[in-house]
Structure 1
Amino acid sequence: MSFPWSYSVLGLVPGLILTIVIAGLVLYTSLLVWEFCLRHPEVRDVCDLGQMIFWNNRAAFYFTAVMFILNNTFIQGLHCLVGAKYLNTITNHSVCTIGFSAIMALISWVCSLPRTFSTLAKLATASAIFTFISVLLATIFAAIEDHPAGYNSGGLLVGEPIVRAIPMKGETFVNGMNAFMNISYTFIGQITLPSFIAEMKEPKDFPKALWAVTICEIVVFSIVGAVIYAYTGTQYMTAPAFGSISNPIFMKVSFSFMIPTLIFLGVLYASVSARFVFFRFFQGTKHAGSHTVVGWASWAGILAVLWVFAFIIAEVIPFFSDLLSLMSSLFDSFFGFIFWGVAYGRMRYADYGPGFYKTRGIRGWLGMALNVGLVGIGLLFLSAGTYAAVQAIIDGYAANSFGGAFTCQSNGIVV
């Protein structure tokens, strides 16, 4: 639901083009991850993969592990933040925001306790269905309403909705970069793929699921983003876009269907992190695969620590779109682009030798250029992206657009 806001900043045409381009790059790099994992079935997670990509350097393992845990914990924090936003919205701020964040963290901790991906797969299916219903309802409600929320309320919120095919003249680099990273963040998830592939009964079937998911993402994200933006306009757009629906009942109904996803995605990343820690401690012992008191107590304890840190992140960084951008710049730079550009070079070098890009003809040169470009995009995220995200946060605090850390102040949607 951040796509409509991104389109309002980038313009509809560039926004849709970037959606397709980013989806294509994520599809391509995910296939690289899959190929690398098939070559190295001993890989259990992205940390093992990171070590192997960077010439089996143990320092690369520890670097990847730190970034891996931080990325996943930030995502958990994001879901605590948005969960508190939902609870504040639906209850008209009946409890302090810090209390709602804690409730969300506790619920998510309980839901994280299953130790197998097979159990989480059932929750994932339900989550996907409810998310589709949520965004479909939000799109329909935005289209059938006479006016978006805040219509003609004064200041910049005046006039009919303005829809731009290209960016508004004078749009800032900071806003544009944050909008771009919002789109990227939604697609990029390669960090979890090695963990999934390692547990698949038939890893060779992975591309089928990947293609199906990518096609569905492009269709749903593009239509939802474009339609909601078209009926809401630049000046009335919010992130997430539920806040642009003027009818309180419509807004709360569509937002409510998102709850399974708000819980599940945080649970998924918590489970991946916990598995990394748990199996490093208990691999080869009876606690890893049996129902022992030590095993379950350790699993629950690891998850509890992760959710406590996620809760702290949600309270220290209490804003939605800028948190997305910050996470994208810091972590997606590596796990979305840089790692896989290097992985391509390592695999082709192993197959064809030092001059692989020469011996393969035009295919080799194009492949090399594409993957050097991937590394370049990652470096752009890490440098310009981080600058834009941090500057947006500084500007938001200067304008008093955010609540304070560990605050009782409501972050709910007000219509």
Structure 2
Amino acid sequence: MADLEMASTTRCDSDLGKASTSTNDSDLGETSTSTVASDLERQASEPKRLGPKKTAGNMTSATVAIGVLAIPYAFAKLGMIAGTCVCIIDGIIATYGSEVVVRVTLDHPEITSFAGAVGLLWGKHHKIGCTIALFMVIAYLNMLTGAHALFGAQSFGIVFDSPETCDTYLGVAAAGILFLCALTRTFHDFTWFSYIGLSSVISTLMIGLVGLAVKGIAAQGGTSNWSWGIPADTTWESGIKAAVAILFAFSWVTYQITFQNQMKEPEKCVKSIRILGTMCTFVYTLTGALFYWLAGDSVASLALLSVPQPYRRAAFAVAWPVIFISGGLTTILCARSFLDQVFPKKQGRYSRRVWILTDAVLTTTAFVIAETIPVFGALLGLMGSLFVAPSTCIVPALFWFMMVKKGRWYERKNLMDSTVFALMFMYGLFLMSGGTYVAMKTIIEESSKATQEGRGPFSCTSAEYRRVSARGMIL
């Protein structure tokens, strides 16, 4: 415990922090000497402007957009009952675990990111743990930005219906819009965009459901085939992949500390998380059940692709705000996580010049990675297994047993929580190991297929975008 207390007083970038006290060893130091830059810094780094409702709105916009349209496909693999149960259980796990993370950060107010919190678990080796976690957070958020760029490009192709247009150009346009959406440096100023994004995703889902309902009414058999139980064609691998996809959609714990740092009353972040958890669980369960009921076992891995025309085109057009707002918000989270952890004492780290440069580098990197990796969707699934499962289930459980729990685990006051977090730990370990195996197998198979089909980076084939984005957990 003494090691944990010592670790909590430092950062994983302590050497960088010492170097950052110099005002003439970098461009950042020169920026902080300017009066204009100082004014911008005070405006952009204000941490006490968010209330619990605005925090919940921003977090919901960032979270719901990640995987809501992958949920129906997961239902098709798990069945109606199992899909509903997994959604509800994952929602409870994510909410319960996030509350423990809040308790840890309140006890250690110097923590500015999820990576810093993970470093506490490593004791005297906190720098190693923090650095590994920071790399994973940046990689995860950056890949999500790339996924939004691909999905934005696909939506352009569907809405404009212009097969002669190179999809790489559409991807560049999508990345440019994501860059512009990420120019806002504070979540307080981004709140109204988040509300627009939430309205967009709700409208998109409604249009999709109406289109499927009309299709079902027009069909002789009414609604499509669906199953209460696990379908007969569901394999162990497809079941694991579906379970990971659902948990992926509840992965807000990786960036909740970044939002919490800008709250007027950080202790009220628990209220925001409960609102977020309730909304996400309700939306995911309802979306998965209704799309699966209407589209049946043939529902696409990206649910909107199951919607008939012209409803599909309208749904993708209405989805533009949530695609780009959520993608821009993901870039903001990535940038703030990086700057806060690597340059904690730099007064100019949020100046306009530094922010634009960081935004440009992150957006460009995300787009290039998404374009150059033929198996990007499978790689995103691997990230979900290696990072999302541990961060959502395993890390909160370790926080409980190592830092939050008072007394013995088997004492009456701790027995219930200890049992819950032990089960949560085992659940996360199961999804991490099983999901990693399935994702690695998928990557090998898809790599071989990509080589045979001659799929290369920056190719002008809309089919490639459909394959990549349909397999990833994007919207």
Q: TM (normalized to structure 2)?
A: 0.77
Aligned to 1:384: 434
Do residues 128 (structure 1) and 191 (structure 2) align? Answer: no
Aligned mates of 1:44, 1:176 — CA distance in 2? 36
Q: 2:460 — aligned with what?
A: 408
Q: Determine the C-alpha separation between the residues in 1 that align with 2:373 and 2:323.
A: 17
Give the alignment of 1:324-363 within 5 angstroms: 324-349=380-405, 351-352=406-407, 356-358=408-410, 360-361=411-412, 363=413
Confirm or deny that 1:271 pairs with 2:357.
Answer: no
Asked if 1 retains the 8 angstrom alpha-carbon contact of 2:158 and 2:313, the reply is yes
1:159 and 1:324 mapped to 2: Cα distance? 36
The 3 A distance-change label for structure 1 pair 86 and 180 is same
Change (3 A) 1:279 1:224: closer
User: 2:238 matched to which residue of 1?
Assistant: 175
Q: Distance in 1 between matches of 2:131 and 2:114?
A: 11
Q: Give, in angstroms, the shift of residue 394 of structure 1.
A: 3.8
Secondary structure, counterpart of 2:274 in structure 1:
helix
Residue 19 of structure 1, aligned match among 87, 91, 110: 87
Map Cα deviations across residues 190-248 of structure 1 (whole Å, 9 max, x no partner): 000111111100122222222222222222222221111111111x31121111112x2
* 1:371 equivalent in alignment to 2:421: yes
Contact kept, 8 Å, 1:109 with 1:303, in 2: the verdict is yes
Residue 413 to residue 65, structure 1, CA distance change in 2 (3 Å): closer
Shift of 1:32: 0.8
User: Aligned partners of 1:215, 1:389: CA distance in 2, in Å?
Assistant: 29
Give the letter aligned to residue 41 of structure 1: P
Question: Does 381-390 or 93-102 show the bigger shift?
Answer: 93-102
Quote the Cα distance in structure 1 between the aligned partners of 2:341 and 2:281: 37
Partner of residue 131 from structure 2, selected from 59, 62, 70: 62
Q: Secondary structure at the match of 1:187?
A: coil
Residue aligned with 2:165, SS: coil
The alignment-based identity, stated in percent, is 22
Which runs of 5 or more structure 1 residues have no equivalent in the other structure?
A: 153-157, 290-294
Does the CA-based 8 Å contact 2:143-2:380 persist in structure 1? Answer: no
- Report SS of the residue matched to 1:226: helix
Matched-pair contact (CA < 8 Å) for 2:216–2:224: no
| Partner AA of 1:70 in structure 2 | A
One of 115, 140, 143 as aligned partner of 1:74: 143
Contact 1:101 1:314 in 2 (8 A): no
* CA contact 1:126–1:260 (8 Å) conserved in 2: yes
Give per-residue Cα distances to partners, 1:61-95, cap 9 Å, x unaligned. Answer: 11111111111111111111111111111122342
Does 1:34 pair with 2:95? no
Contact kept? 2:343, 2:349, Cα under 8 Å: yes
Aligned-residue CA RMSD in angstroms?
Answer: 2.7
Judging changes above 3 Å, is the alpha-carbon distance between structure 1 residues 195 and 162 closer, same or farther for their aligned structure 2 residues? Answer: same
Following TM superposition, by how much is the alpha carbon of 1:38 offset from its aligned partner in structure 2, in angstroms?
Answer: 1.3
State yes or no: 1:91 paired with 2:141.
no
The answer on whether the counterparts of 1:37 and 1:197 sit within 8 Å (CA) in structure 2 is: no
Assess if the C-alpha contact under 8 Å between 1:143 and 1:228 holds in 2.
no
2:211 aligned residue: 141
User: What residue number does 1:237 align with?
Assistant: 299
259-268 vs 3-12, greater mean Cα deviation: 259-268
CA deviation map 1:271-314 (0-9, x unaligned): 1221233345654444246xxxxx32222222222112211232
Q: Give CA deviations for 1:120-151 in whole Å, capped at 9, x if unaligned.
A: 22211111111111112211221122479xx9
CA distance in 1, matches of 2:375, 2:249: 17
Residue 254 of structure 1 corresponds to which residue in structure 2? 315
Aligned residues: 394
Q: What code does the residue aligned with 1:16 have?
A: T
Distance in 2, Cα, partners of 1:168 & 1:55: 46
One-letter amino acid of the structure 2 residue matched with residue 257 of structure 1 = V
| Structure 1 pair 328–284 and aligned structure 2 pair: CA distance change class (3 A) | closer
CA distance in 2, matches of 1:321, 1:165: 29
CA 1:278 to 1:266, structure 2 compared with 1: closer, same or farther past 3 Å?
A: same
Aligned to 2:255: 192
The whole-number CA distance in structure 1 between the counterparts of 2:276 and 2:210 is 23
Q: Tell me the amino acid that sits aligned with residue 325 of structure 2.
A: F
Q: Shift in Å at residue 170 of structure 1? A: 4.1
Q: Offset of 1:320 from its aligned partner?
A: 8.0
Shift of the 261–238 alpha-carbon distance from structure 1 to 2, 3 Å rule, reads: same
1:3-24 deviation digits (Å, cap 9, x = unpaired): 1111111111100110000001
Change (3 A) 1:387 1:87: same
Runs (5+) with no aligned partner, structure 2: 1-68, 468-475
- Contact 1:163–1:229 at 8 Å: present in 2 too? yes
Structure 1 pair 159–131 and aligned structure 2 pair: CA distance change class (3 A): closer
Select the residue among 172, 181, 188 that pairs with 1:102: 172
Cα contact 2:159–2:314 (8 A) shared by 1: no
CA distance, structure 1, for counterparts of residue 137 and residue 184 of structure 2? 21
Q: Secondary structure at the match of 1:145?
A: helix
- Cα gap change, 1:321/1:23 in structure 2, threshold over 3 Å: closer, same or farther? farther
In the TM superposition, residue 406 of structure 1 has moved relative to its aligned partner by 2.4
CA contact (8 A) 2:216 2:223 kept: no
SS in 2 for 1:230: helix
SS of the equivalent of 1:389 reads helix
